[in-house]
Structure formats: C-alpha cells, structure tokens
Amino acid sequence: MAKQIVKMNLNGQEIEQLVDSRTLLVHFLREQMNLTGAHIGCETSQCGVCTVDIDGESVKSCTHLAVQCDGCEVKTVEGLAEGGVLHAVQEAFYEEHGLQCGYCTPGMLMTSYRLLQDNPNPTEDEIRIGLSGNLCRCTGYQNIVKAVKSAAVKLQQKESATA
Amino acid sequence: MIPPSFEYHRPSSVEEAVGLLSSLGSEVKILAGGHSLLPMMKLRFAEPEHLVDINRIPELKGVRVIGDDIVIGAMTSENAVIADPVLNAKVPLLPEAAKNIADPQVRNRGTIGGDIAHGDPANDHPALALACDAIMTVVGPNGTRQVPASEFFLGTYWTALEETDILTEITVKAFPQGAGYAYKKLKRKTGDWATAACAVVVALSGSSVSHIRITLTNLGPTALRAYDAESILMGQSINDDLIRQAAAKAMEICDPAEDLRGDAEYKTAMAGQMVQRAINEALAKAS
C-alpha cells in the first residue's frame, strides 16, 4: 500500500520502478538495481561510503528515501567510467594508491568527482574540507588527497585538449 | 536499519502541505532534509504513519530581501546558506557558522528550517537565530503568524510549532554597520554536535558597546541567550576583565545534559571558554 512508482535517470538511463516508500536510496540501488558500488557503512550519515550524486550534489544515500529521487538524475560510482574507460578520478586513485581496503572508495570517488566539478582547481585545504564527510578507516588520507590533486590536473588537461 | 512503514506525500505548495498536515491525523511528520528525522525513524524513536515531504515546494527555498528584511526560506540548505551573497554581505554570522554544521554532504540536504523546527538543543541554528533576533514565520490551518526566536524554543524537541504548522521563513535584519560576529564551537570531530558553542554579535559606538548578543548551543534544554552576560558588556568599553565576568555570567545559566562529550561541569567550563573566544573574535572584527 505504501508503494509508489518512481522514475529517475540513473547513470544516464531512464528507469521506472515500484518502490516501497520506506526504502532508503542505498538499499534501492544495491538490492533493486543491483548497483552495489555505493556501500552501507554507519547508516547514520557519518561515514560517507554511501555517497552518490543527486542532481549535481553529493548526498549520503543511507539517509535519503528512494521515493525522494522521483524525477531526479542520480549518478553512482558505476556511472563514472564511460565506454570502459576509467574516469580521471578513478584513474588518479589507482595511480596514487588512493585506496587500501577499498571500502570507502566508492564514496571517496563520488565526493571527489563532485568536488572537482564544482571546484576544478582546489587547494589542499579545500580538498580536505570537501572530503571531511568521508571516513577512511585505513587512514589513507594522504594518498586520497594526492589522488584528488592528480585528478584535478588530469581533468584540466582533458578540458584544454578538447577546447 | 530501515525506517518503519509510512505513507509518503509530496505537496507542491505550502497550502497543500498545511492541508495534508490538518487532514492526516496526529501521526504525521514533515520531511525536510531528513538528516535528523530519518535516523530517528531508523531507531524507532519516531514512527510517523505519514511523511509530508516539503522538498518540492519552491517558495520555501532561497533568500530574498524585502525592504529591511532578509527572508530566508525554511528549506534553504546549509550549503545554500554558506554560498548566499546576501547573507554573506549582511548577516555573515549565518554562513560562517553553517560551515561548522555536520559535513559537506549533509549540508546539501540539511536545511536551516529543519535545524530550527526540530527543537534539538544540540542544533546550531537556534542559538544563531537568537543572536540575530530572527522572526519565524509559521503557517498553519488558521493562517500565518510571526514568532520571535526568543519565544520559539520552549524545551528539548519542543517549539512554538503546533502539529499542523509549517515553519516557512526565517526573517532577520542586516547586522548594524561595522558589527563584529563569531560562532565558536567546540566539537570532537567533523560532523559532531557542539560540546559547547557560543554565538556573539557586537556593535560599537566609539569604543563602547552599542549592541550585543551572546547565545549558547547545547548547554541547556534549549538554545540560551545570556542576557546577564550581555548586560555586563552593554555600554562598556570592553576589556579582558569584563570578558571574564561576562563568561562567568553565561556559565551560570548553563544546564547541559551529561553525555559522551562530557559531564555538566566540563561542558559549562568549555562554555566559558567559547564565550570568551567568541567575544574576542567578534570584537576583532567590529569597527
């Protein structure tokens, strides 16, 4: 009785799904859409592993209802790579060893992706503040920050190459 | 953790939302940013039968200037408060303090109105609203009314809002010319609530204080305004001794709840420190 039809653009594809109103976005993505990139961590909007992009903003999908995404554009870590080619942010995390166990990585990637869309050339402070809602329990922050800096350079080079 | 079942409603106007609140009975909650309500629902501290999602009501978002009034839509997100040019120019305490609330992702969803309407003494906007002499605009089934911040916060999770009311706007005035301001918040980590926090707005006439507000977060059942501390400084040329006296007066009204952030004695002592730091920082900015 509490089910609703929800339409959204998910990683570039228009989808239409029947969703229980109490279903959290992260459960909808993982269990109904089989997109297990966004992880479930603290479930209390502290850790950031569930971060996805909704209409151009980073949001913690453990504290957001799937029904609230009706009509929205949602991007998950699965939507970053295009045509089998890693996104610059992914490439940079790989090259700079921006991950150890990998649990926080999808959230780190999505927050970094949005950070660089909004601020293409961030200072180290801006990167650290920008990622302050994402925890890495391996404490691999130095290389994560390096990776975001490297991704910023890559994205700017791509930008000038296509300009 | 999954919230209990509820019916989801998404009105597109305040009128429609108020109608829903009036017709759906008592087990109804407003869904703003959801970053307080959804965690409470997961823990079954709240089990509403209906959620009224007010995120798609355009009139509730953004900042407008109407004459002398700066009108902040209740559904303006913390990040929108931080970025807003009008607030940065005229009421800079609000964007500066909002940077201390939660974390970047949460600030995309969390709203100034939700922070105020929740009635949680740990939230930051209640003390900021007191410091800015904010007026709350409340719409209910019997029309619109204005409630000053000083009469809005009645107790823990208890405000002047009735169950069928919506907080629609928060109205503030521009700070006096040359006013200084500060929000000092002691917290254990990013995203935490305050162990103790203090907002100060101060304006000077020559070297003496012509306007002052000193307000406190998470140091009692509601946000507190430290009237006696203000009286010590009002009309005076401030020196370190007066600042210490004001901090001592502010500590007298503190009645914090003991929790993992510390016991009442520690929190009250930290309140004294935050008051002194906030007064000093606000004075340094005042001209």
Under 8 Å between Cβ of B72 and B112: yes
Q: Looking at the DSSP assignment, which residues form a beta bridge with residue B70? A: B65, B172
Four-residue CA torsion sign, B155, B157, B163, B164:
positive
Q: Which residues of A touch B191 (CB under 8 A)?
A: 46, 132-133
Cβ separation A133–B38 shorter than 8 A: no
For residues B56 and B11, give the distance between their C-alpha atoms in angstroms, rounded to a whole number: 7
Mean pLDDT of B238-265: 97
Q: Which CATH code of 3.30.300.130, 3.40.1360.10, 3.10.20.30, 3.40.190.10 fits the domain covering A3-79?
A: 3.10.20.30
- On whether any CB of chain A is under 8 Å from the CB of B38, the answer is yes
Cβ separation A111–B105 shorter than 8 A: yes
DSSP letter (8 states) at residue B238: -
Residue B38 exposed, middle or buried by CB count within 10 Å (0-12, 13-18, 19+): buried
Which residue does chain B place closest to A26, by CA atoms?
B2
For residues B80 and B51, give the distance between their C-alpha atoms in angstroms, rounded to a whole number: 24
Q: Report the mean per-residue pLDDT for chain B.
A: 97
- CB nearest A51 (choices: B31, B79, B105): B105
Q: Which CATH code of 3.30.390.50, 3.40.50.720, 3.30.565.10, 1.10.600.10 fits the domain covering B180-285?
A: 3.30.390.50
CA–CA distances in Å: residue A75 to residues A1, A72, A154, B2: 28, 10, 21, 22
Q: Encoding tokens for residue A35?
A: 């997109």
Residues present in chain B in total: 287
Would the ipTM clear 0.85, i.e. be above it? yes
Under 8 Å between Cβ of B260 and B158: no
Residue A59 binned pLDDT confidence (cut-offs 50, 70, 90): very high
Mean pLDDT of B184-207: 96
For chain B, give every domain's residue range.
7-53, 62-173, 180-285
For residues A49 and A131, give the distance between their C-alpha atoms in angstroms, rounded to a whole number: 11
Contacts of A37 (CB under 8 A, 6+ apart): A29, A76, A77, A78, A106
Nearest to A3 by CA among B16, B160, A16: A16
Distance from CA of A22 to the nearest CA of B (A): 6
Nearest to B106 by CA among A21, A44, A145, A41: A44
For residues B37 and A152, give the distance between their C-alpha atoms in angstroms, rounded to a whole number: 36
- CB nearest B109 (choices: A27, A43, A64): A64
Residue B99 exposed, middle or buried by CB count within 10 Å (0-12, 13-18, 19+): middle
Hey, of A3, A6, A46, which one would you mutate to test binding to chain B, going by the most B CBs within 10 A of its CB? A46
- CB nearest B106 (choices: A2, A45, A68): A45
- On whether any CB of chain A is under 8 Å from the CB of B2, the answer is yes
- Chain B segment 81-110 residues within 8 A of A by beta carbon are 102-106, 108-109
- CB nearest B3 (choices: A22, A51, A70): A22
**pTM confidence score:** 0.96
Contacts of A163 (CB under 8 A, 6+ apart): none
Q: Which residues of A touch B102 (CB under 8 A)?
A: 45, 133
Higher pLDDT pick, B287 / B230: B230
- The domain covering A88-157 belongs, at the CATH homologous superfamily level, to [2Fe-2S]-binding domain (1.10.150.120)
Q: Kindly report the CATH class assigned to B7-53.
A: alpha beta
What per-residue confidence (pLDDT) applies to B1? 87
What per-residue confidence (pLDDT) applies to A1? 53
| pLDDT tens-place string over residues A69-104 | 999 999 999 999 999 999 999 999 999 999 999 999
| pLDDT tens-place string over residues B24-80 | 988 999 999 999 999 999 999 999 999 999 999 999 999 999 999 999 999 999 999
What per-residue confidence (pLDDT) applies to A162? 84
Question: Which CATH number is B62-173 given?
Answer: 3.30.465.10
Q: Which residues of A touch B6 (CB under 8 A)?
A: 2, 21-22
For residues B207 and B204, give the distance between their C-alpha atoms in angstroms, rounded to a whole number: 6
Nearest to A69 by CA among B109, B263, B87: B109
- On whether any CB of chain B is under 8 Å from the CB of A117, the answer is no
Cβ separation A65–B42 shorter than 8 A: no
Which residue does chain A place closest to B56, by CA atoms?
A68
For chain A, give every domain's residue range.
3-79, 88-157
CA–CA distances in Å: residue A127 to residues A2, A95, A120: 41, 18, 11
Contacts of A127 (CB under 8 A, 6+ apart): A115, A145, A148, A149
Higher pLDDT pick, A160 / B57: B57
Distance from CA of B48 to the nearest CA of A (A): 11
Q: Encoding tokens for residue B212?
A: 């002052």
Percent of chain A with pLDDT over 90: 95
| pLDDT tens-place string over residues A1-36 | 589 999 999 999 999 999 999 999 999 999 999 999
DSSP letter (8 states) at residue B84: -
Cβ separation A133–B102 shorter than 8 A: yes
Residue found under tokens 């554009």 = A73
- The residue type of A57 is E
- The residue type of B146 is Q
Under 8 Å between Cβ of B209 and B231: no
- CB nearest A63 (choices: B7, B38, B53): B38
